[in-house]
Structure 1
Amino acid sequence: MAKLYAGVSAVNITPPVGIDLTGFAGRPSPAIGIHDDLYAKCLVMDDGTEKIGILTMDLLGLDSDIVERVREEVEDKLGVPSRCLMLSTSHTHSGPATISLRGLGKRDEVYVEELTRKLIGAVKMAFDSVRPAKVGFGTGQVQIGINRRQRLKTGAMAIGQNPSGPVAPYVDVMRVDDESGRPMAVLFSHAAHPVVLGGKNLLVSADYPGYAMRLVERIEGCVAMFAQGCCGDVNSNPVGRTFEDARRLGTILGGHTIGVAESIRCSDDDVRLKAISRKIELPLQDPLPPEETSRLVIEYRERLEEAKRRGEHRGQIYLHEGMLGWAEDMDKLASSGKTGLTKGFEIQAIRITERAVILGMAGEVFVDYQIDLKRRSPYEMTMVFAYTNGCIGYVPTADAYPEGGYEVDMAYKYYGTLMLKPESDGIIRDEALKMLREMREESHL
């Protein structure tokens, strides 16, 4: 029987006032203040055969270069393979620009350098604190979000509220105790965009996940870690409101998390750590015809020039610049004649016990993936995280493409140049399930 050792850490990653916030387009200014601090938290585990680390951060997302550097340095300095380190973000829309989105805030390289060093340090601190531990899992019913893909009377698909649309109405919880039974960490996950505060907010905040974590930490006396589920088509309910609303939702989620955590009985009886990570290639839609892209370049350039003439604020100028940049990149692709392009997409699986696994995916994944993969997984407990190890953009279900809407028709322009093809849906599900089944079969050899 494997002996489990675990360690935890928490580091403050709050950016300075004056940094660009990200997540919403057209913000009139950088951050004007700090409402609540942002944190990176790390849980590491070692069973003598595998070392794994899970980093959660109060950030919208991470660019791939940040993920790669943290993993490379952790492997070099601590001997933890890249496949064994998971970096997952809460997707707060009131944090600094740590992922490059056209027109949605500019990355501050001084802050990114400091953040990278702190993330590496958090992993080291956690490993420096390892001690004998036990682990357990549980799930509880809770829902603080609502499906946001609303069909308007005009027939258009809009971001709104769709009470009949899918959600994941539960919180998954992993609790880690020391040998005496005292909680060391509570890692919990729920799927709902942290957008309670809306685009008018100019204060740095972790949004509702921050309130939930602070409540869990106050009651349980341990490090609380939040990992975002597959909330690509699920928003918090409400959206664009107040800090009091964020506190209310966070209290609801945190309270249910505490209830689940206190019902968990931890042990180290069936611990068997294992991590695998694969980057699959997802097909992209072909570029628009050259005559269309040339027209778009002219159109977006005129929009930018008009915005400058009208004296629009910096956020609107950034947005127009971003859309012009997208049109220019699309025009270059169209002129190249290249087709059949793909985009890399990482899927990571970390087995904790014979019965429990964590699955992470690098995108704004629609909630049906989480529901389906959790249902079809060979494990009793499958925690599914999105916004993990980077973010390539929205990952809709195949049936969402004919419906259109922001996630299908617009958001990819912020993230890159071309949208995924609908066939990506089946590729992702098949690969994720293949990884889970391989890991399950390997544990029985």
Structure 2
Amino acid sequence: MRPGFLLTVCTVVLSFFFCPASEAQELRLVTFQLDVTPPIGSPLCEGFIPPASKIDDPLSARGIIILGVEQPIVLCAVDFVGIGNGGYDAWKEALASAAETIPSRVAVHVLHQHDAPACDLSEAELLAPYGIESKAFDVPFLRDVLKRLKLTVKAALPSARPFTHLGTGQATVDRVASNRRILGEDGKVKIVRYSSTVDPEAIAAPEGVIDPQLKLLSFWNGDTPLVSITYYATHPQSHYGKGAVSADFVGLARAVRDRAEPKLFHMHFNGAGGNLAAGKYNNGSQEARIELTERLAAGMEQAWTSTTRVPVAANDIEWRVEPVTLPLREPLQNLTALEDMLKNDKAHLLERIRAAKDLAYAKRVLAKQTIELSSLRLGQAVILNLPGEIFVEYQLAAQKMRPDRFICTAGYGDCGPGYIGTAIAYSEGGYETSWVSRTAPESEEILLAAIARLLK
């Protein structure tokens, strides 16, 4: 054998084994979208409001798949009120299977509209023996969504397009978010400012702690924009609870951008808005919904026009995962009491549904099942994916940890934990931490440490 030929063969073989994959693979992007509007008669908000009697506007699941960096990475935003526990597992597994990746490289988040379905298959399984699962979930519809989701993603994979640049932009959103927890002089919650109010005192109170900035990430192929993803923290309710399915003002603002930039694929994520809502600026009227839509859409447009682009390569992209176990609130540690409430056919239906929600999450924690936080670094930008209805303070803390990064926070991942407050919030009272949080105050230390590791 000629020495030159042998040298060439050895060089090729060594290059195959030792050249970084990031240099060998082209970055590509896949987009997918699925209609997830429920049929008439389906429960909305897990049965806590009237079921669907009409469709005001459609619901969608929208996502992207990043190819060319180890295994594919999937980000998905869904117009549901919540996806949690076994339902969250099912969504991640369906997306991972279809995108040919693993569940730990998938992040699913809801936008938390209330005039929308929920998906918690663990809870539905607990309700089923008592014949009341259909009061909270349309399980056949949810199973069909998962089936169609897999087909949609598989069909989208061949349409992958290269991307070469990442864009970042931000804008201040005017008169949308306000803090729901108004404290009195004693340091306790004096007023809970819900998603809408006509109470003059609640309206007059300051906005409180919020993050007024809307962040925008965009993917480009040269000078051609492909995808725009926005992040903004607030509960997204205007008026709701009348049986009219709607993506509410966040979905309607996204639709405004769809029409304004029809060649762009638009996604929106709700930030860490567990203790935020539009209450200061929302009286629950149709006119208020229109105003909130216009203000949020204006922020999206301003963030888009302020966008700056930089080249991005595979070695600029890094996915990290931090599994955590969040300690249970004391009342949830008594599984017998929760099971007794679930079995009690004399109890109010919503009390039994609430017991099933608590029990589903408590069983997972006691079985040592973790919840995953994750981050996606894209050059100097970082997407931080957080679980539950998490308070805005966690989003603000992340930004303080890495002021040198452009941090976009998505809340409402696995919604099993419910509200996740700061440690002090549990002693302040209020709706979020006294009734619908399933985590203990010690969760703050665990979460902040996990976020710090993700951003390190």
- Please tell me the TM-score bracket, short chain as reference: 0.7 to 0.9
CA displacement at 1:53 relative to structure 2: 1.5
Once residues 405 and 91 of structure 1 are traced to their aligned partners in structure 2, the CA distance between those partners, rounded to angstroms, is 20
Instruction: Tell me the alpha carbon deviations over residues 155-189 of structure 1, each in whole angstroms, 9 at most, x when there is no partner.
Output: 6544214525210101010112234x333221101
Paired amino acid for 2:261: E
Partner deviation per Cα, 1:182-210 (whole Å, 9 max, x = no partner): 332211010110121133x2100000111
Q: CA deviation at 1:293?
A: 5.7
Which of 231, 234, 237 lines up with 1:189 in the alignment? 231
1:426 aligns with 2:445: yes
Matched, 1:322 2:353: yes
1:427, 1:421 → 2: CA distance?
Answer: 11
Quick one: higher RCO (CA 8 Å, sep 6+), 1 or 2? 1
State the distance in 2 between where 1:397 and 1:82 align. 28
Say if 2:390 and 2:419, in contact at 8 Å, map to a contact too: yes
Q: Secondary structure at 2:374's aligned position in 1?
A: strand
1:18: Cα distance to partner?
Answer: 0.6
Q: Offset at 1:343?
A: 7.0
Structure 2 unaligned blocks of 5 or more: 1-21, 194-201
SS at match of 2:450: helix
Shift of residue 81, structure 1, vs aligned partner: 2.2
How far 1:288 moved relative to its partner? 8.3
- Structure 1 residue 401 displacement after superposition: 1.1
Give the distance between the partners of 1:397 and 1:24, measured in 2 at CA.
28
Determine which of 172, 176, 190 is the counterpart of 1:141.
Answer: 172
Give the total of aligned pairs. 404
> 4+ runs of 1 displaced by more than 4 Å?
100-105, 152-158, 287-290, 323-327, 339-343
Which amino acid in the other structure matches residue 246 of structure 1?
R
State the alpha-carbon separation in 1 of the partners of residues 93 and 46 from structure 2: 27
Aligned with 1:119 (options 134, 138, 149)? 149
Deviation for aligned residue 1:340: 9.0
SS of alignment partner, residue 294 of structure 2: helix
Structure 1 residues 4 and 263, CA gap change in structure 2 (3 angstroms)? farther
User: Measured at CA, do residues 78 and 233 of structure 1 come closer, stay the same or move farther in structure 2, by a change above 3 Å?
Assistant: closer
Contact kept in structure 2, 1:44 and 1:51, CA below 8 Å: yes
| Conserved 8 A contact 1:191-1:228 | yes
The aligned counterpart of 2:100 is 79
Answering whether residue 408 of structure 2 is matched by residue 383 of structure 1, we say: yes
Residue 85 (structure 2) aligns with: 64
User: Do 2:29 and 2:162's aligned partners in 1 also have CA atoms closer than 8 Å?
Assistant: yes
Q: Give how far 1:142 is off.
A: 1.1
Report the equivalent of 1:309.
Answer: none
Amino acid at match of 2:54: G
Q: Distance in 2 between matches of 1:156 and 1:11?
A: 41
Query: 1:289–1:12: structure 2 CA closer, same or farther, 3 Å change rule?
Result: closer
Distance 1:400 1:424 in 2: 12
Letter in 1 for 2:399: K
The match for 1:264 is 307
Deviation at 1:132, TM superposition (A): 1.6
Q: Which has the higher helix share?
A: 2
Distance 1:297 1:239, change over 3 A: farther
Write the deviation string for residues 3-28 of structure 1: whole angstroms up to 9, x where unpaired. Answer: 42112122211110110110783x3x
Q: How well do the aligned residues superpose, as a CA RMSD in angstroms?
A: 3.3
Q: Is the Cα contact below 8 Å between 1:10 and 1:39 reproduced in 2?
A: yes
Contact kept, 8 Å, 1:284 with 1:343, in 2: the verdict is no
Instruction: Write out aligned runs for 1:359-370 (5 A).
Output: 359-370=384-395
User: CA offsets, 1:199-248, max 9 Å, x none?
Assistant: 3x210000011111111111122221110101110012445613442232
1:340/1:9 CA distance change after superposition, 3 Å: closer
Q: Name the CA shift for 1:270/1:264 in 2 (closer, same or farther; >3 Å).
A: farther
Residue 377 (structure 2) aligns with: 351
Q: For 2:291, which of 229, 234, 248 is the aligned residue?
A: 248
Give SS of 2:376's match: strand
TM-score, with structure 1 as normaliser = 0.81
Match for 2:278: what amino acid?
S
Greater mean deviation of Cα atoms: 230-239 or 393-402: 230-239
- Of 258, 267, 273 in structure 1, the residue corresponding to residue 317 of structure 2 is 273
Q: Retained in 1: the 8 A contact 2:234–2:270?
A: yes
Tell me the residue number matched to 1:443: none
* Residue segments in structure 1 that go unaligned for 5+ positions in a row: 306-316, 334-338, 413-418, 438-445
Q: Closer, same or farther in 2 for the Cα pair 1:17/1:371, shift >3 Å?
A: same
- Matched position secondary structure for 2:370: strand
Closer, same or farther in 2 for the Cα pair 1:253/1:62, shift >3 Å? Answer: same
Within 2, Cα distance between the matches of 1:146 and 1:377?
A: 25
Does the alignment pair 1:130 with 2:171? no
Residue among 395, 400, 408 paired with 2:425: 400
